[in-house]
Each structure stands twice: as C-alpha cells, then as structure tokens.
Amino acid sequence: MMYFQSMGDAIGSDYKTIDLTVQAKYQKLTPDSMLYDTLQRAVYLGFLKNRYSEIDLKQQVSQWAMMVLLHYNDEEIRLAYTKNAPVTISWMLDLIKQRDTQYLMKDISDTLQQEYLIPEKIPDWKQYTGVQRFLEELDDPYTVYFPPTDAKDFTDAIYGEFVGIGAYIDMEKPWVLKIVKPIKNSPAEKAGLHIGDRVVAIDGKKVTEAMSVTDASHLIKWKEGTKVILSIQRDGKDAKIFDVEIVREKIILEYVSTEVFEWWDCYIDIDMFSVGVYSDFSRAVKKLAHIWWVWWNCKRYIFDVRGNPWGSLQDVLKIWNFFVPKWEKVLTVSTNNSDEKYHATASLYDEYFTWTSLIVLIDEHSASASEIFAGMIRSYHPRSTKIIGKTSFGKWTVQALKNYVNGWLLKYTIAQWLIWREQLSIDKKGITPDIEISDDPKTEQDEVLEWVKHNT
C-alpha cells in the first residue's frame, strides 16, 4: 500500500475514475477506504488487473493469493513465488520489478519480431533474465537499450542542445578515450582540445578498461558553469600528460557553417546530420548564393563531414535535392519485408552545384548519414567530385527509436541502405577516398584542409 500511495503526485487524480470490480465481494472495500484507493492506483499503473478475486481481507494475504491479482493468467510471464508464504514489502517490490522486466522484454521481443532487420536472429526472450543480455545475443552494436540518463544524452545530441564541454568523444578500444571532434566555438575548442587527443583522466579519475564511453560522457557533462579537468595526452603513449580545465556551458549545436577561402574555395562544414540539419544546410547554401560575387566566383565547394558519425536519414534525403535531378532514384532502403526506393523530390539541382567542382572530406569517424552524403555525391557527380581524407567507418544500417514510460529508450536496427547507382554495400568497408591524407594530431593545423586549399 505504501508503495502505490507514494505514487500519488506522479499520476494525478485520473485513477479515481476507475470502478473496481472487486467492490461487491467485500463490504469493507468501500470507495472511501485507503485499500480501495491503493488498488485504484495499482490498476491505473498497470500493476494489477481490474477483476474479481477471491481474497479474504480478514487474514494475511499469501504470495499465491497476490499472484492471482498480478499474474494475469499469462503463461509467458513466469514469476517466482512461494504458495503459502506471506506477502512482504520486499517480496512485493521484487515481484513488481520481475514482472515489469518480463513484460518489458516481451514487448521488446514483439517489437523486434515485427521490425528488426533480421528477425531470425532474435532469441527467445524467456531464456534471459535481463534486457541487456537478451539484446547482446543479437550481436548488433546498434541495437541498444538506453537507461534514462543515457537516453536523454542521446536525444539531446539528436536535437542539438545539451550542457557540457562541446566535444564528440569515442572509446577507440578499452581505456583509450579519444576526442573525435571539438564543436566549433565550444568550450572544448576554446580550451585548445584537438582531434585525436587522448583523455587519460577526468577530474583525476583514470580512464580504465572498466569505463565505457557513456561513463566518460557522464563524468564530463554536468551543470552549466561548473569546471572539469581533463588530463590529455597528445603525441602518443609516451607523450607528456597535461591538464586542461574547461568550464561547462550550454551547447546549442550549429550543424552547418560556411567560410570562403582565398582563390574562391567555398567551404561548408556539416557537423552532424541531426534532426533539422536540412534547414541549416539550405540556409547556409542560399546565404552564399545571395552574395552574388561569392556565388559566381566560387571555383570549388568543399564539404567537410569528418567526425560526423550518424544522423537523420530523412534530413540527408532532403539534402540530396541540391545534388540530384528531381525524380532521380538515389537510395534503396531494405527492411525485413520490403525494398523502398527513394527519389529526389525537389527541383534544386540546376540552381546550385551542377557547374562547379565538389570536394568531400571524410575520415574514419564519418559514418552512416555522412557516408550516404559522400557516396551519393560521388555516384551522381563522378567527374566533378573528389573524396579526400581517410576511409570512412562503414555503417549501412538504419535504426528506429522507441520510448518507454520509465524513461528508457530502445534503439534498434530496422533497415540497410544502398546508393542506387552502385548498389554496393559499404558495411565494415567504408568509402575509400580518391586521395588519402591524414591529419597530424600533434599540430594545431588542419593538414587535410590545408592540402586541399593548395592542391587539387
């Protein structure tokens, strides 16, 4: 009773409209009693089913009797109990947790059976006691169940607003935490962090094999205005370690930025293909177009998708309208039961990039949407396009998201894609650049971009 009564503030008063079917059985179970109120809350929250039950309120309730209310006659949900043992608070809480876990696993399994890319890989969920172990059997690093804090971090990144230092990080291998890319004008960039910097410790806590990239992210992120000290190693494992103090700020991502270099090279940096990036890209391109002396003099357009690890398929599809003629097929997306062909849907092709050279910069952290972007440009503009940098990551799958009321988030693989013209898979192979150049993490200079400025 105490457990369900404590949830009153969270569920409001709608539960009071529930008319319990057990009321006629027991005269003492009146609508104004605390037990009636408690059972209404439990039914509202889905812990109990609103049905007639043979429970004698004059004696202590057994675990078996409580199971009559909780079990729902669902043969798939198997809960542990002792028939004649009394109900205790700890047993009740354990039972609720066990029941919720099994219902959750059943729901996840049902979702995957309907939508997962390779349903035959899905194991029998009843053989597992936890969600994470169940999902591990898929051997799919992109199908993940995020706890509430991680779910918030993930959705914040998708929608481009969070509190932190403003840097993308990755655990290249156990205990090797690297700065993938500082965000432009972020505290991380202002503090002098470089691409490829290794983070050895966070506020004195060493990065070990036991620390995940999520753990590291939680240590780096905190309240706005607070400080974090990162111990950095820049020039390899034998280099001197130095500390960098950074004040956390609210980061609002600008997905696309532009710059005009000497000799009329127009540079467009796409930081992330997150939700809304199409609007930013469109605005940036049209801004350049409205400066007529820039637009007509631009000899080359340089698109930088280095360190761009994932993004929104729908937004990158819209960006294709700048590069591909209307109604031209651009992508095949295959699910577990169909192949869908995507076409360019707007007539922006003739207005912008048909008459100039195009350069796309990629690296080993360019993945998913950025690989679609780079592959599409080279596929449809092979004579005027060069891809420069390092071989990309190699991710050709598409994921969907499902939110749960407990704050957790399921991300799961639903499709794979192929650029229409080549119909080739880049899975684990990536996109090979036409010209391979690496940036030197020991210097502050961007060697790849500098090489492009003075060559090609």
pLDDT digits (tens, 9 = 90+) for 379-437: 888 899 999 999 999 999 999 999 987 788 999 999 999 987 777 788 889 999 999 99
What number is the average pLDDT over the span 108-112?
96
Residue with tokens 């109900």: 87
139's torsion region: left (phi>0), alpha (psi -120 to 50) or beta? left
Final residue belonging to a domain, choices 71, 87, 104: 104
Q: Strand 409-419 and strand 397-403: pairing?
A: antiparallel
183: domain CATH number?
Answer: 2.30.42.10
- 269 and 362 belong to one structural domain: yes
Helical pair 63-70 and 89-115, crossing angle rounded to 10 deg: 30
Q: Which domain holds residue 189?
A: 161-252
The reply to whether the predicted model has a pTM over 0.85 is no
- 196 and 262 belong to one structural domain: no
pLDDT at 48: 66
DSSP conformational letter for 24: G
Does residue 131 belong to any structural domain of this protein? no
Does residue 347 belong to any structural domain of this protein? yes
- 185 and 63 belong to one structural domain: no
Does residue 182 belong to any structural domain of this protein? yes
Q: pLDDT tier at 23 (50, 70, 90 boundaries)?
A: very low
Give the count of domains, the chain: 3
pLDDT at 70: 60
DSSP per residue over 52-100, as a string? -----TTSPPBHHHHHHHHSTT-TT------TTSBP-HHHHHHHHHHHH
Reply yes or no on whether the pLDDT at 55 is more than 60.
no
- 180 and 243 belong to one structural domain: yes
Residues 6+ apart with CB under 8 A from 156: 162
- 227 and 272 belong to one structural domain: no
Does residue 326 belong to any structural domain of this protein? yes
- 242 and 262 belong to one structural domain: no
- 292 and 355 belong to one structural domain: yes
Q: pLDDT tier at 3 (50, 70, 90 boundaries)?
A: very low
**Cβ neighbours of 380 (radius 10 Å):** 20
Reply yes or no on whether the pLDDT at 348 is more than 80.
no
- 280 and 172 belong to one structural domain: no
Final residue belonging to a domain, choices 230, 252, 274: 252
Q: What single letter denotes the amino acid at residue 239?
A: A
Does residue 448 belong to any structural domain of this protein? yes
Does residue 140 belong to any structural domain of this protein? no
Measured CA to CA, the distance from residue 134 to residue 106 in angstroms comes to: 11
**What mean pLDDT value characterizes the chain?**
83
pLDDT per position as a tens digit, 169-219: 888 888 889 998 888 889 999 999 988 899 999 999 999 988 888 889 889
SS3 299: coil
- 59 and 195 belong to one structural domain: no
- 297 and 391 belong to one structural domain: yes
Two structure tokens written together for 101: 């876990």
Q: 326 or 123: which carries more pLDDT confidence?
A: 123
- 88 and 199 belong to one structural domain: no
- 246 and 264 belong to one structural domain: no
Which is nearest to 40 in space by CA: 19, 71, 66, 25?
19
- From 27-31, 134-138, 409-413, the region with the lowest mean pLDDT: 27-31
Reply yes or no on whether the pLDDT at 360 is more than 80.
yes
